Amino acid sequence: LPAAVLLKDMKLMDVKLGQLGSWVAMRDFTPGGILGAMRRGYNRYYNKYINVRKGGLGGLSMVLAGYVVISYMWSYSHVKHDRRRKYH
């Protein structure tokens, strides 16, 4: 039998739907906690897609796709304003 894991130590994918509210309440939402989570996510992404022996275009294409989505979100108000204009 596997050892019991505390709810606060569980990964998001292992949390049951009924436990989700309690799990989110246990997260650290201080600036240091958010920065630490971003750092862990970056390290996980870097080690999985960039820092590999035989790499491909998968990691770099995901970064490019993210850049395209973010730049569209930043310019959406301008695009929305211009979409009803006909030629000027």
pLDDT tens-digit readout, 27-81:
889 999 999 999 998 999 888 877 877 767 777 888 899 999 999 888 877 776 6
Is 7 in contact with 26 (CB distance < 8 Å)?
Answer: yes
* pTM for the full predicted model: 0.54
Q: What is the distance between the alpha carbons of residues 52 and 29, in angstroms, rounded to a whole number?
A: 32
Is 2's pLDDT higher than 60?
no
Q: What is the distance between the alpha carbons of residues 72 and 17, in angstroms, rounded to a whole number?
A: 33
Token pair, residue 53, equals 């022996």
